[in-house]
Amino acid sequence: MQANQLAHTKTDDLVSEFYHEWGSDMSDLLGTWDNVNPKTGQISRIIVTSENQQLKLQAFGKLNEGEMDWGTVVCEIFSSNVASPTVEGFMCRFNFDFMHVQIAGNMKYGVMVIQSYNTFTDGTSRNNYFSREFFCKLNA
């Protein structure tokens, strides 16, 4: 199928004649990442792994005393463009009894940027909220 016959909404959705199935080079994302803000009230640390070409994220929420392990979820992965073999971003979701946390992450100049979208589902009047924080790789 020629590129101009592919469904698209913008030029960047199309691939060139040199397109090939992209790999899953996610090596830059893998490892343990610490929040650069030690006083955060959000996510204190994340561990990014891969298994069977899937990116997995384990997150730890900052508590007054220590942190809470949120568990590990599989992420949807994204490259910077349709033909890039390098994974540069991801999205995932943690579901708790009282709230859902959607995470969008990406790399920028060697720093991992994590956005979290926090939605309360317990019927309380707490406002849903958004945060964006920066993480550095341990032993980088």
Averaged pLDDT, groups of 10, the chain, 140 residues long: 63 60 75 96 96 93 95 92 81 97 94 97 95 90
What is the dotted CATH code of the domain comprising 24-137? 2.40.128.30
The predicted structure's pLDDT at residue 1: 44
pTM of this prediction?
A: 0.83
The identity of residue 122, as a single letter, is D
Q: What is the pLDDT of residue 59?
A: 98
Cα separations in angstroms, 23 against 18, 98, 130: 15, 37, 32
Write down the pLDDT at residue 13.
Answer: 63
> Domain coordinates of the chain in residue numbers?
24-137
Q: What stretches of the chain show up as alpha helix (H) in DSSP?
A: none
Closest CA to 102 of 87, 114, 112: 114
Summary count for the chain: helices (H), strands (E): 0, 9
